[in-house]
């Protein structure tokens, strides 16, 4: 870690100051959820790479839950904050899904400046360690017999990415997703808290969150929604595909900036993340955060976002979640 700081911090401190920081301490990352979820992981990953006691600008985290990202989105679009040159906002594939369904009002992917994708994780389904369900098949069979039997915690409401994961699984098993019982929560941290307290019997979440909470006597992850088994603490967890359910759900994680940020400031941040993510040290930090390689910045990321929103709209139409004009 000392090597990482020696190599990265001087460059990144300079990059932050060049990007318009008027004084140390005004670099901020907005977390559009409560503490403990994957959005939190995204900002903390950026902070770990940027922060140092020896002179880099302190990296402030600000939690702004509400509307699964809508509050943070509209805050940064406001006239007061839209041009802040050193404020980053965490986003995920769920943010893009919300945009695709119009859950941010009239907002579109063209309204902000997409800076960097820092990594990706995958959807997962988990239960408490003492749950009677020991496999995805057992949970699905219980839902087949009585869709009202299992209360499922998710981040967001009907149409959110956590809902979509369960909906795809349910449809694959011949279950009407609208007959399932969900509890809408604010972020992954709240999901795991609710499950441990017994308020819900299963959760639909993300692997980066599961990596933080899974462990003996705590949580049993039934399936990961990746193409192949993952490395790290979830290496023993079978994929949904292995268990007969062809559902893969990758989740991009990254940061964006307000729409009024001057182009020079935006480009400096893009360049900073380009150089940062090219280092093996960042790869180590990303893995420690439970994320997997996925690096796009600037214009290539923006093009990816546009296509992803179109793809999410198509998925949403399958469940009649997008109003046709």
Q: Alpha-carbon distance 220 to 130, whole Å?
A: 8
Q: Could you tell me the CA-to-CA distances from 77 to 15, 72, 227, 264 in Å, in that order?
A: 24, 9, 36, 19
Name the average pLDDT for the chain.
Answer: 87
Instruction: Report percent pLDDT > 90 for the chain.
Output: 67
Q: In the predicted model, what is the mean pLDDT of residues 214-218?
A: 76
Which distant-in-sequence residues (6+ apart) come within 8 Å of 318 by Cβ?
none
Q: What is the pLDDT of residues 151-164, one digit of tens each?
A: 999 988 889 899 99
C-alpha–C-alpha distance, residues 97 and 30, integer Å? 19
Mean pLDDT of 241-269: 96
**Of 295, 271, 287, whose CA–CA distance to 118 is shortest?**
295
Q: Does residue 259 surpass a pLDDT of 80?
A: yes
Q: What's the pLDDT at 24?
A: 41
Q: What tens digit of pLDDT does each residue of 1-52 get?
A: 444 443 344 444 444 444 444 344 478 999 998 888 889 999 999 998 876 4
pLDDT digits (tens, 9 = 90+) for 163-188: 999 999 999 999 999 999 999 988 78
Whole-angstrom Cα distance, residue 296 to residue 274?
8
Q: Say what the pLDDT of residue 55 is.
A: 55
**Domains with residue ranges and CATH for the chain:** 2-120+250-318 (3.40.190.150), 122-234 (3.40.190.10)
Residue 235: Cβ-neighbour burial (10 angstroms; 0-12, 13-18, 19+): exposed
Contacts of 321 (CB under 8 A, 6+ apart): 101, 158, 159
How much is the average pLDDT of 197-222? Answer: 89
Which residues is 119 bridged to in the sheet? 253
The mean-pLDDT minimum among 142-151, 194-203, 313-322 falls in 313-322
For the chain, the maximum distance between any two Cα atoms, rounded to a whole number of angstroms, is 61
Residues 6+ apart with CB under 8 A from 4: 49, 279, 281, 284, 285
Lowest mean pLDDT among 52-61, 222-231, 248-257: 52-61
Q: What local confidence, expressed as pLDDT, does residue 53 receive? A: 43
pLDDT tens column, 129-145: 999 999 999 999 999 99
Rg value, the chain, Cα: 20
Report how far apart, in Å, the C-alpha atoms of 265 and of each of 16, 48, 131, 142, 262 are.
9, 21, 50, 53, 5
For residue 37, give the 3-state DSSP assignment. coil
pLDDT level of residue 325 (50, 70, 90 thresholds): very low
Query: What is the distance between the alpha carbons of residues 236 and 106, in angstroms, rounded to a whole number?
Result: 43
Strand-pairing partners, residue 28, are 60, 87
Report residue 324's pLDDT band, with 50, 70 and 90 as the boundaries.
low
Q: Does 115 or 315 have the greater pLDDT score?
A: 115
CA 322 and chain centroid, separation: 22
Better-scored residue on pLDDT, 7 or 91: 91
Query: DSSP strand E in the chain: where?
Result: 27-31, 59-63, 87-92, 113-128, 151-155, 181-185, 202-206, 219-224, 250-257, 296-297
In the chain, what is the straight-line distance between the N-terminal and C-terminal CA atoms, in Å? 53
């Amino acid at each position: 870690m000392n090597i990482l700081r020696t190599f990265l911090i001087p460059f990144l401190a300079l990059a932050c100051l060049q990007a318009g920081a008027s004084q140390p301490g005004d670099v901020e990352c907005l977390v559009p959820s409560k503490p403990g979820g994957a959005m939190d992981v995204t900002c903390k990953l950026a902070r770990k790479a940027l922060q140092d006691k020896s002179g880099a600008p302190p990296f402030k985290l600000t939690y702004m839950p509400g509307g699964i990202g809508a509050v943070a989105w509209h805050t940064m679009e406001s006239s007061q904050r839209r041009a802040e040159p050193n404020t980053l906002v965490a986003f995920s594939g769920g943010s893009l899904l919300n945009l695709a369904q119009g859950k941010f009002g009239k907002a579109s992917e063209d309204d902000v400046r997409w800076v960097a994708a820092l990594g990706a994780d995958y959807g997962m389904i988990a239960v408490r360690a003492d749950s009677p369900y020991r496999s995805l098949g057992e949970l699905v069979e219980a839902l087949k017999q009585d869709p009202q039997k299992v209360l499922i915690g998710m981040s967001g409401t009907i149409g959110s990415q956590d809902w979509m994961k369960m909906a795809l699984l349910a449809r694959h098993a011949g279950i009407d997703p609208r007959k399932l019982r969900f509890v809408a929560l604010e972020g992954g941290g709240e999901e795991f808290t609710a499950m441990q307290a017994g308020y819900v019997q299963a959760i639909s979440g993300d692997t980066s969150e599961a990596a933080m909470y899974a462990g003996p006597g705590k949580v049993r992850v039934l399936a990961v929604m990746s193409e192949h088994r993952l490395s790290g603490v979830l290496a023993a967890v079978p994929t949904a595909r292995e268990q007969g359910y062809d559902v893969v759900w990758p989740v991009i994680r990254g940061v964006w900036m307000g729409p009024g940020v001057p182009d020079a400031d935006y480009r400096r941040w893009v360049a900073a993340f380009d150089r940062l993510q090219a280092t093996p040290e960042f790869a180590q930090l990303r893995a420690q955060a439970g994320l997997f390689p996925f690096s796009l910045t600037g214009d290539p990321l923006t093009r990816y976002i546009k296509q992803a929103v179109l793809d999410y709209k198509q998925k949403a139409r399958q469940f009649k979640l997008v109003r046709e004009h």
